[in-house]
Amino acid sequence: MVNTKVTLSGLTLDNPVIPASGTFGFGYEFADIYDINILGSISCKGTTKDPRFGNPTPRIAECSVGMINSVGLQNPGVDKVISEELPKLAKVYKKPIIANVSGFSIDDYAYTCEKMDAQEQVGILEVNVSCPNVHNGGMSFGTTPESAAAVTKAVKAVTKKPVYIKLSPNVTDIVSIAKACEEAGADGISLINTLLGMRIDLRTRKPVIANKMGGFSGPAIFPVAVRMVYQVYEAVNIPIIGMGGVATARDVIEMMLAGATAVQVGAANLVDPCACPNIIKDLPAVMEQYGIENLTDIIGGSH
């Protein structure tokens, strides 16, 4: 019998499969389709200090090997997430969750993380530093080691639970940013977020989404994600949650060999709502096929 359990910063997961933030709502929406308690954990929809309507439509476009989205962090704000969304999820999901937090200033991040940290069902805070810094000309917090470290320090100062920094791949040196987050106190790293992409409609000769550019995700970015997880694993001594184009149990194994302790599934959920349970069901057979008894034994196994 194979063992699919993994541990993230003291939190034991029955398996490493986690729906990625932004592709699974607040989780309870899927409870009518299958028993979501089979999931390792759930990374909930990105939450900000204040409510956000998001970007103008159209804001999602399909591509032949993925999708582009510019939803714009639509969410009801942290107070409503705590008072309405998390209680709904608690009725149908009995495991600790990952609270994904976004912000547009360091104070935003600290405020929202402190509130989410106090919620009993939150096991890990996942801090998305791919957001534009409104006080620095719109440059993403995750594009320099200094700004990513500043967010990490501010969040760690007001929280007790493990903090994982979710990094943007739209940089030239992912390793220096990951190392800066570790030095600033991060308990783990999540990577990668979406790549910046764009499509143009041949008939209108205009970009297909209103925001012109958006986050490119899906199977096409998997090799980039594996490469970045591999590089960061060699540079840091904290756990990595790997994501980016994961769609099969074999992808999970490959991502873990690169260095991930757990794996998030994103765009695949939008193609097939049962993507995660299918991966979880297939995982034991794939482990047996490759002679893997314990998943924890293969973390970073390609190094």
- Tell me the catalytic residues: 131
As a whole number of angstroms, the distance between CA 66 and CA 87 comes to 33
User: What DSSP designation does 286 have?
Assistant: H
Residue with tokens 């910063």: 9
Q: Quote the CA–CA distance of 174 and 190 in Å, as a whole number.
A: 12
CA 25 remoteness from chain centre: 13
Amino acid at 90: A
Are 113 and 155 within 8 A, CB to CB? yes
Token pair belonging to 185? 């106190």
Instruction: Compute how many other C-beta atoms are within 10 angstroms of the C-beta atom of residue 248.
Output: 18
